[in-house]
Structure formats: structure tokens, C-alpha cells
Amino acid sequence: MITADDLITKVLEYNPHSDTDLIRRAYAYGMAAHEGQFRKSGEPYFTHPVEVAMLLTEVMLDDATIVTALLHDTIEDTPATYAEVSEQFSPEIAQLVDGVTKLTNLELSSVETKQAENFRKLLMAMSKDLRVLLVKLADRLHNMRTIRSMTKEKQRHKARETIEIYAPLAGRMGMQFIRDELEDLSFRVLNPEARNSIMRRFINLSKENDDLIPRITEDIRVALFNSGVEARVTGREKRPYSIWRKMEEKNEPFNRLSDIYAFRITTDSVKDAYIALGAVHQRWNAVPGRFKDYISQPKSNGYRSIHTTVSGRSAKRVEIQIRTQEMHQVAESGVAAHWSYRDGARAENPFAVDPFHWLRSLAERFEASENPDEFLEHVKLEMFQDQVFCFTPKGEVIKLPRGASPIDFAYAIHTRIGDSCVGAKVNGQRVPLWTKLRNGQSVEIIRAEGQRPQSSWEDMVVTGRAKSAIRRYMRDEHRDAHIRLGREIARVSLGRVGKKPTDKALETAAKLFTLVSGEALLAEIGAAQISGSELVQTLYPELVKSGVSAGPGPDEDRVIGLQPNQSAAPAPCCMPVPGERIVGIAMPGRGVLIHAIDCPILEKFEGNDRRWVDLRWTPDSSLAFNETKIEVAMANDAGVLGRICTLVGEHRSNIVNISFTARKPDFYRIRLDIMVRDIEHLTNVETALNADSDVAEVIRFRDTSLCELADNDGGK
């Protein structure tokens, strides 16, 4: 195990004025606190905090962060308390340790927890002190390095959480070496066959191209020497996950990829970086379309470098990155450069970005978001995508995710410009609004004062800012109609368990859904973002479990043909209604399921007559309402959904739930759970909907997957 002296020696290399007594005391305290605890691998538990601390010395972090790494599991896993850590070390360190503990308790990719809400908490913890995140990233990196001692299921869970959340977050923080290793370690767990395949190809390639990397490295050094540039040159094969991702994105086999090899030139000045670029392009042919200048146009996380791909020795295409030493520090350690020390003093790196800038802009941009899941989507869009750089007619640079459209560009300038966008010119030529923008293009937005956002725009944009503005406008535009519809759905849904949608009940439910008000909840229900059944389940889960209902009487009282004491229920697959022919299928231990005579599941029971029960509806069965489902394909236009709901209501039918099954630029497909008296009532509703000019199709919905669920023992 790494000793206290080993750790202190490493810290003193970059910070000779380090408080070594503080680090030594933290080491002793952590070791004593974790005494008797062991990892899954059988090693003493304290080996983990020490390894995390050693990882953070690689980015030359301050004493407080190193001590936090040593103590980061004490408050969570030992008798140590916040007050004790604060007293023995400092309030600053206690707050950092507590922050790491809170991050550890957030299961960011768990299905069982509210992922969006937890991600919001993660961002809040980061905004207080980003060193909390730096410790957590190092903690996750060491855990992924030693993940083999966990169960297979636990390995996959942690690997998926790492590749979906922590690796992109490390990239967004500019800590590229951590991102690369986290991705590759996760790839090893999630897709070992693919990784092994790439590794085998690397081995074969190395045999074919013996010593290719040293030879190309020497070629570059000679070219730089001839140009009078002093620089350090390194070369490497790209990591397996990076290769796999490019294969997936480009849909190309391994042998067709052009940048399996990567070389880095590190110079002493920006001037030398551009001289080095000229030397490289003079020595080898540049590959068209594979040049990016992130020195003149840095990425938002502070990354600066020149990227170019050339045809090198033996016509092998290689990627070359050119940057200064200070840029390299930011490229590798990202926001950690803000806290790093060199020769005992905080290193003033002119290229290190303000680590809180992104978090502040994120908070401002999404503060109006009412829906936590929508907030999470926006954060991921901001975090996980590469960028393109486009120009306004005045020459201002607008940074956008790859795949962005002119609408994204308009909203990036200002919401008013996005809302009033009617067209765009790219490099002086008129283009459709769904055009994908490319690096270096000049974009001019054409506006009209009467223009308003269209619902189809949502499928054309990729930025969180644009999606948020479009959705907010569409919600506001249809808010009153959605509230009225939501109130009716809430009334019917709650009425089925004998409850009413009082203001108090709606306000309570809104808080549980993390919405701002009861009206906001009704708007979400009316817009089909929350179902009526979810409302009931949230407010009255015990009533749902106990089967309490204020609807019609027991189903066995509404059909004829059952044996005494035999129970019955409508089959969830076909949901038959009075007036249509029915048949019963006896389910051992579960009573009889009532199916429509044309239900697809009945084929499974052919040849097993003893399971069939001859049923028919009682004469008064249509006096009560019955639930069934229809699917409607309608034009994607303002007011159509409201008109459909009005038509259903005019025919004395209640809508229990609405869900969208498809959203396209030209049409929506929605599923309506409605209450009707009988088949004649249902036919009248379908006829009225079919007569609407904006309705393309109305069908009775039959869910065969529910058939399989209900009758999974088939005809046995």
C-alpha cells in the first residue's frame, strides 16, 4: 500500500510549501477510521482512499483536495462525523468530504430513483465547490480499475452509469485523461467481445507495421528541426473505445478508419505551434476536411489545440494535435488546472477556464424548466456533444453541438430571434431550416414579426436551449386547453377510486411530481406528460393496491355464463365492451378473463375446450361505463388535439388517459383510454373523429403484449 511518505513525496514535487503535517494527520485518521474494513478484493479498505489521493496528485491539486480524497469515505462508512472532521482538520475540508458523500449516495443511472432530480442535486453540489467532483471522478476511476471483484450485475450497473454520466462529465470538465480511461474501462465491462476484437486487430496491425509509431515520431521531429521549432513529440494508438465509437458513428470497418494513430506536438509558444503546423503540412499531404483550429476558436471547456490529419509514412493516415505546454495542461486536467499548484504557488494558467462559468450559464438557461426530466435532457445535450463553430453576419462566433440547425443558431443568439425565425441563409445561400450546420459557416437568420415557433421545430433542433424555448412556447400556447383537459382526466381518474380533484389534492400531487402548482400538474396531464393513472397511483397508492373503485359493479355481475363463485375481469389486451361478442377463458387461480371474440390471443387456446367459457353480456351491462382504447393518427397542427378531445366529450365519453405513441413533423399518433357505454357508443365516437379533416385514421387498439402477459400459460 502507498505510504504517507510516498504520497507526501509526490505532493512536494509540485508544491514544496505543502502542509505535510496536515496530510500526514489525515492519512493516520483515515487509516484508523477504516481499520478492520476490507474491499471486495480482500485488500484493506484504506488502500482505496490513498489511491484516489495519489491520482489527484497527477493533476497537482491543493492540500485540501488531497486530504479530502484521504477522508472521502469516512463520514459515510465509519463512525467519523462531520463535526469531528471539521474540528480536527477544517470546515472547508469537512464541507468537501460531506459533498463527496452526497454525490456517492446519488444513484445517477438507477431506474428506481429519480435520475433527473438526482442529476440536479449533482449539479448543485458541483456548483458549491467543483473540487467535490474532482475527488468523485478520481474515486470512480479507481473503482473502475478494480471493478473485477464485484458481481457481474454490479459491474454492468456501475459501468453503464460511468459511461453515461461520469465519463462525459469528466470530458465536459476538460479532464480528458480521466474520460478516456473511464470510457475504456466501461467498454471492457459492457462489450468485452467488441473490445477484444479491436485489441486483436491492434496486435495484427502492429505486426504488419513494425515500429510504425517510433518511425513516424522521428519523421515529425526531423520536420520540426528543419523548421527551427523546439517541441516534444509523442505518439500512441487510440484507445479501443475511441476506435469503436468511430466505427459506430461512421459505420466503417476497422481497416477503413483513418485515425487509429494519434501524435501530439507540444511547443513553447503559440507562434511555434503554427510554425509546426506549417512544417507538418509541408512534409505530408493534409487530408481535406480534417483540420480544426481550437486555438483560435477554443472549446467551451477551455480546450485549445490544432487538429490535423495527414497521409504519413506508407500512406497511413494519422491525426496530429499541436498545442503549447500550458494548453496541454488544460487539455489533460481541465478545470483541475484552476486549483493546481506548481513550485508551491497556485499555477496561473492563462488558458484555464472559469470552472463555474458553465454551471452558472446552465442554471440561468434552465431555471424556467418545470420538468426535471426535461432538465436532464437539456444537461445531457449540453454536455455530451461535440461542437461546431459558426459565424453571424457581423463575424461573432456561435458555438453549437454537432448536428445543430439554423433554428438552434437563432435561439443561441436570443430567444426572440429563435421565436421569429422564418428562414436562414448559409454562406449567402437560402437553406431549409432542418439543414445541419458545419464548422466555419456564416449563418444569417431571416425573421418575421408575426412568426411563432412551430411544434415540428422540436424534431429539427438539438440544443437544450432551443428545445426548452419551443416546448415552453407550445405549453403556454395550449396551456388553457391542456388545463381544461387535464382537469377532466383528473376528475374521471380520481372518481374511479371515489376521490375528487380538489385544489388541495392537486397541490399535493404537484409537489410529489416536483411541479410548481396544481395548474402546472393539470397542464402536464392535459399534454399527456402525466397520465391519470399516475396521478391516482401517486396520491392514493394504497387504494390502487386494494383495488378500490367507484366504477360499475363487479364484472361477474355484468356477464351471464359463469359458475357460482366464479370471478371475471375484462382481458387487458382487447378490453371488450357490451354489445360485442365475448368469450371467457378460465385462468387457474385467477378466475375468468373476458375476451372479445376476435382477440388474437384466442388462437392459443384452440383445441383446449375445457378452458373456454360461453359468456354474454347482461341486459343492463351498458348502463355503466366501460374502459377501452382507441388510437388516432392526427395532423401535427395547433388546436387539433383540443378539437379531438372536445369531440369525445361532446359524445358523452370521458377520456381517462392520453399517451403519444409517435411524434413526427407532419403527424402525431395518440392513444386514448376512453369510457363508453357499449359498442354502439364507441362506434359513434370513432365516426365523429374520422369525420374530422385533420384525423387520418382511428382504430380500436389491441395490445398483444398484454395478451401474452395476461395469458402467459397459454393453452396448457
d(CA 713, CA 604): 10
- Cα dihedral sign for 705, 707, 713, 715? negative
Of the pLDDT bands very low, low, confident and very high (cuts 50, 70, 90), residue 119 is low
Cβ–Cβ < 8 Å for 238, 260: yes
Query: Which range among 286-295, 571-580, 700-709 shows the weakest confidence by mean pLDDT?
Result: 700-709
DSSP string, 620-654: TGGGS-EEEEEEEEEE--TTHHHHHHHHHHHTT-E
CATH of range 199-346; options 1.10.3720.10, 3.30.360.10, 3.30.460.10, 3.30.70.980: 3.30.460.10
User: Catalytic amino acids?
Assistant: 76-77
Which comes out higher in pLDDT, residue 675 or 238?
675
CATH of range 367-476; options 3.90.1640.30, 3.20.20.70, 3.10.20.30, 3.40.50.150: 3.10.20.30
SS3 content of the chain, % helix, strand, coil (to 5): 50, 20, 30
C-alpha cell at 669: 399518433
Q: Distances from the Cα of 173 to the Cαs of 101, 170, 332, 335, 358, in angstroms?
A: 20, 5, 10, 6, 9
**Residues 533-563: pLDDT tens digits?**
888 888 877 665 554 444 444 566 778 888 8
Q: What integer pLDDT is reported at residue 322 of this predicted model?
A: 94
d(CA 694, CA 696): 6
Q: What integer pLDDT is reported at residue 287 of this predicted model?
A: 84
End-to-end alpha carbon distance in the chain: 61
Of the pLDDT bands very low, low, confident and very high (cuts 50, 70, 90), residue 473 is confident
Which amino acid appears at position 688 of this protein? A
Of the pLDDT bands very low, low, confident and very high (cuts 50, 70, 90), residue 279 is very high
Q: How many CB atoms lie within 10 A of CB 7?
A: 22
C-alpha cell at 295: 486555438
Mean pLDDT, residues 682-711: 78
| HSE-CB of 390 using CA atoms within 13 angstroms | 27
**Residues 410-427: pLDDT tens digits?**
998 888 899 999 899 998
Q: How many CB atoms lie within 10 A of CB 554?
A: 10
Cβ–Cβ < 8 Å for 92, 63: no
Q: What is the phi/psi pair of residue 78, to 5°? A: -135, 175
For 642-661, letters b (16+ CB in 10 Å) and e give bbbbebbeebebbbbbbeee
Residue 191 region by backbone torsions, left for phi larger than 0, else alpha for psi between -120 and 50, else beta: beta
Mean pLDDT, residues 460-464: 83
C-alpha cell at 224: 520540426
Of the pLDDT bands very low, low, confident and very high (cuts 50, 70, 90), residue 88 is very high
Q: For residue 71, how far is the Cα from the chain centroid? A: 31
Portion of the chain with pLDDT greater than 70, in percent: 82
Of the pLDDT bands very low, low, confident and very high (cuts 50, 70, 90), residue 710 is very low
Q: What integer pLDDT is reported at residue 272 of this predicted model?
A: 94
C-alpha cell at 578: 357490451
Residue 490: is its pLDDT beyond 50?
yes
Q: How many CB atoms lie within 10 A of CB 74?
A: 23
CA triple 492-497-502, angle to 5 deg: 60
Q: What is the phi/psi pair of residue 179, to 5°? A: -60, -50
Mean pLDDT, residues 230-240: 86
Mean pLDDT, residues 439-460: 84
Inter-helix orientation angle 131-145/152-161, to 10°? 150
Residue 70: is its pLDDT beyond 90?
yes
In the beta sheet, which residues pair with residue 432? none
Cβ–Cβ < 8 Å for 265, 220: yes
Query: Which range among 236-240, 569-573, 706-710 shows the weakest confidence by mean pLDDT?
Result: 706-710
- Cα dihedral sign for 68, 69, 73, 76? positive
Domain boundaries, the chain: 4-190, 199-346, 367-476, 478-546, 623-710
- Cα dihedral sign for 416, 422, 426, 428? negative
Q: What integer pLDDT is reported at residue 5 of this predicted model?
A: 93
Q: What integer pLDDT is reported at residue 84 of this predicted model?
A: 93
State the pairing for strand pair 568-570/591-596: parallel
Own/partner long-range contacts of 692-697 (Cβ < 8 Å, ≥24 apart): 692/634, 692/643, 692/644, 692/647, 694/634, 694/635, 694/637, 694/640, 694/643, 695/632, 695/633, 695/634, 695/635, 695/640, 695/644, 696/633, 696/634, 696/635, 696/667, 697/631, 697/632, 697/633
Residue 56: is its pLDDT beyond 50?
yes
Q: What integer pLDDT is reported at residue 462 of this predicted model?
A: 83
Looking at every residue in the chain, the average pLDDT score rounds to 80
4-190 fold: Hypothetical protein af1432 (1.10.3210)
d(CA 493, CA 535): 8
The 3-state secondary structure of 255-286, one letter per residue: HHCCCCEEEEEEECCHHHHHHHHHHHHHHCEE
Which amino acid appears at position 694 of this protein? D
Cβ–Cβ < 8 Å for 137, 100: no
Of the pLDDT bands very low, low, confident and very high (cuts 50, 70, 90), residue 241 is confident
Which comes out higher in pLDDT, residue 246 or 406?
406
- Provide the 3-class DSSP secondary structure of residue 379: helix
d(CA 567, CA 559): 10
In the beta sheet, which residues pair with residue 342? 345
Which CATH architecture describes the domain 623-710?
2-Layer Sandwich (3.30)
What pTM did the predictor assign?
A: 0.55
Q: How many CB atoms lie within 10 A of CB 453?
A: 22
- Provide the 3-class DSSP secondary structure of residue 449: coil
**Residues 358-403: pLDDT tens digits?**
565 555 554 545 555 555 555 555 554 556 778 888 877 787 877 8
